[in-house]
A and B are shown apart, each in its own frame.
Chain A
Amino acid sequence: MIAAAIILTGIGTYAMRAFFIFALARYTFPPLMLRALEYVAPTVMAALVISMMTNTRGELTASWAEALGLVAAAVVAKFTGNHIFALLAGMGTFWVIRWII
């Protein structure tokens, strides 16, 4: 049963990843659609951050430490464009504030 669940989920996940790549392999994308697709990456990342900061009841689980950690990471990412620096800034801020409070 467990093996069946893993295989079914594997097939489903692969199908979702491959679906449009195969379905639209010969499709001419209208300019409006190409413009819309430019927004997918920033909006998915934004929504993922929020989903990680909320519980299943829709309540924010972030305290000041998390909130300021995310702000620090965003600022450092914007000015350095370096994910390691952003990670260090975000985690550093988070740990320091949590230690103070």
Chain B
Amino acid sequence: MDCLQLERANSSNYSNLGPTLVNMNKVVTSPFARGSLDALPLFIPAIPFAFVFGVVVANAGIPGWLGWSSSPIIFGGAIQVTLFTLLGEGASVAAAVSAALIVGARHLFYSLTLAPRFQDQPGWFRWVGSYVLIDQVFVLSQIKPIEEPQTFRRYFLAAGFTFWTLWMMFTALGVILGPAIPASWGVEFAAPVLFISLMMAASNRKDKLAAAALAMGIALAFSHLPHRTGILLAVAISVTVMLVARRWSS
């Protein structure tokens, strides 16, 4: 029953995409608009995070404008926060930069996963698309598998740069206002809530859901490892286990 419902939900997703995204002459919604609209709700949990970022920059004793410059230069919330937290604690540049990059190492998985989709794209899009390849944009591209290259490109860029524009604005506000949202509200919890919602959307098959559950267990077992390296191990191990299991069952 569960499986059937998932299958049906999955196929209805595909048929929804058809008229909206492929047959653009007949429908008002363009892939640009769709990408922007899909990115908007995903930005909500990033708002408290932007204010946390502002506090971290202030605590590190870094001028606001310099801290904010990391938003366009790095464009990665967790990476930016890690970098300034460690610099604020007096870590060396080499130590802070390498820790921040290890925290962001999951982007290598995104790059690998999207590499086949970027093969039929023009060169400029490889350069520009890579710049906005963040967690949320990656998952959106996986939840909505768009076949047509131009539609994919427009959707991807719209989602990416909608998120980018909002992140620039809200990290600026975060740097200026600092702790504008009382910590006691617990709004930071919106981030894991969104990610579990994205996890469910990305798990449109029973085996993908099993992979996600397995990854949770492995991530928990390795959660004591520094710089979130447990995430990398959880992905690598659970993907391997799922492949072996699929081989066995077929």
| Cβ contact within 8 Å between A42 and B202 | yes
Tell me which of B28-36, B167-175, B207-215 binds A. B207-215
Interface string of B136-152 (1 = CB under 8 A from A): 00110011000000000
Chain B, residue nearest A53 (CB): B192
Contacting residues, chain B, for A57 (C-beta < 8 A): 224
**Which residues of B228-250 are within 8 A (CB) of A?**
228, 230-231, 234-235, 238-240, 242-243, 246
* Interface residue? B17 (CB, 8 A): no
Distance from B228 Cβ to chain A, minimum over Cβ atoms (Å):
5
Quote the shortest CB–CB distance from A33 to chain B (angstroms).
Answer: 9
Q: How far is the CB of B157 from chain A (nearest CB, A)?
A: 14
Q: Interface residues of B toward A: which range?
A: 35 or more
Which of A27, A42, A90 lies in contact with B208, CB distance below 8 A? A42
Taking CB atoms and an 8 Å cut-off, the chain B residues in 109-145 that contact chain A are 109-116, 118-119, 126-127, 129-131, 133, 135, 138-139, 142-143
Which residues of B sit under 8 angstroms from A32, Cβ to Cβ? 243
B211 adjacent to A42 (CB under 8 Å): yes
A49 at the interface (CB under 8 A from B): yes
The B interface, classified by DSSP as helix, strand, loop or mixed, is helix
Q: Is B108 an interface residue (CB 8 A)?
A: yes
User: A87 near B194 (CB under 8 angstroms)?
Assistant: yes
Scoring B residues 64 to 89 as 1 if CB is less than 8 Å from chain A, else 0, what string do you get?
00100110011110011001000100
* Interface flags, B43-78, vs A, CB<8A=1, else 0: 011000000000000000010001001100111100
Among candidates A16, A46, A60, residue contacting B234 with C-beta atoms closer than 8 Å: A46
A96 to chain B, nearest CB (A): 12
Closest residue on chain A to residue B116 by CB atoms: A29
How many interface contacts (CB-CB < 8 Å) are there between A and B? 265
Residues of A contacting B209 with CB < 8 Å?
Answer: 42
Residue pair A98, B119 in contact (C-beta under 8 Å): no
Contact B126 A90 (CB under 8 A): no
Tell me the nearest residue of chain B to A57, going by C-beta: B224
| Chain B: minimal CB distance from A1 (Å) | 6
Bound complex: CA A38 to CA B210 (Å): 13
Alpha-carbon distance between A66 and B192 when the two chains are bound, in angstroms: 9
Q: Interface size on A (CB < 8 Å)?
A: 71
Contact B212 A46 (CB under 8 A): yes
Residues of A within 8 A of B (CB): 1-10, 12-14, 16-27, 29, 32, 34-54, 56-60, 66, 69-70, 73-74, 76-78, 81, 83-84, 86-87, 90-91, 94-95, 98
Beyond A14-B130, A43-B214, A95-B186, 16 extra complex contacts between A and B, CB < 8 Å: A12-B97, A12-B100, A14-B131, A17-B130, A17-B133, A20-B115, A24-B119, A25-B119, A38-B208, A44-B138, A47-B216, A47-B231, A54-B220, A57-B224, A60-B220, A94-B186
Chain B residues with a Cβ under 8 A of chain A: 9, 13, 41-42, 44-45, 62, 66, 69-70, 73-76, 79-80, 83, 87, 93, 96-97, 100-101, 104-116, 118-119, 126-127, 129-131, 133, 135, 138-139, 142-143, 186-187, 189-203, 208-209, 211-216, 218-220, 222-226, 228, 230-231, 234-235, 238-240, 242-243, 246
